Amino acid sequence: MLKNLVINFFGSSKEVPTGSEVSNVISLYELQHAEHFKSTSVTDESEMFIDLNSVRSVEHNPPNYTLLFNVYLVEYKKKQTIEWVVTADYDYEYSFGSIVKKENLKDCSREQAKPIIVKHKEQESGIKGIARATKYYDFDGNLETDLKAMNVNVKHEGAFEYGDPFYTAAHYAFDRAYHVFF
């Protein structure tokens, strides 16, 4: 999904102008081994990591919360990493805790509660936002393309569907910020 978004916008990464600047920011090794990077979703072709140290609260007005954080989409076949800056808006009325309370699932087993919670989350995840691709890196951490400097806008905007990579990253960001399972 994310890979196709970038490909549809640019046609291919070879058509995008590149710079020769070196970045000390993100290598594949660092993403895979540094404690503050958490792998949030994996497929055969890609993996998404959240930088847990980048999580910042922008709004704290219960039941509404907004967090800002960075994620990195590693595209293994293309041997590149895309940095995304995410602003996620949360409505706590759709959190796991709120669903458990509304549906009176407190005394249910996990097996009994799970299908009910999943049904609610699939109908309304409670998270929406915008993710903007900002930079492309090679696996050694060298900056290949700086979209922000080029004023190029590649984004994923709207509801973060339950289970999609942005939803999962946003879930980890919420847990990091508030120590609560969203």
Domain boundaries, the chain: 2-89+128-178
Give 31-68 pLDDT, tens digit per residue: 999 999 999 999 999 999 999 999 999 999 999 999 99
Task: Tell the residue number behind the tokens 């509660």, with chain if given.
Answer: 113
pLDDT in tens, 23-35: 345 899 999 999 9
| Highest CATH level, class, for 2-89+128-178 | mainly beta
pLDDT digits (tens, 9 = 90+) for 138-164: 999 999 999 988 988 899 999 999 999
Percent of the chain, pLDDT > 90? 81
pLDDT at 18 exceeding the cut of 50:
no
pLDDT tier, 15 (very low <50, low <70, confident <90, very high otherwise) = very low
pLDDT (tens digit per residue) in 118-128? 999 999 999 99
Enter the pTM of the model: 0.82
- DSSP-assigned states of every residue in the chain: -HHHHHHHHHS-GGGS-----B-SS--HHHHHH-TTEEEEEE-SSEEEEEEGGG-EEEEEETTEEEEEEEEEEEETTTTEEEEEEEEEEEEGGGSHHHHHHHTT-TTS-HHHHHHHHHHHHHH--SEEEEEEEEEEEETTSBEEEETTTTT--EEEEEE--TTSHHHHHHHHHHHHHHS---
Q: What pLDDT score was predicted for residue 13?
A: 39
Question: What is the reported pLDDT for 151?
Answer: 87
1, 155 Cβ separation under 8 angstroms: no
Question: Can you tell me which residue has the tokens 């995840």?
Answer: 125
Q: In sequence order, which residues have a C-beta less than 8 Å from that of residue 120 and are 6 or more positions away?
A: 94, 99, 103
Mean pLDDT, the chain, integer: 88
pLDDT at 8: 40
Residue 106 has pLDDT above 80, yes or no: yes
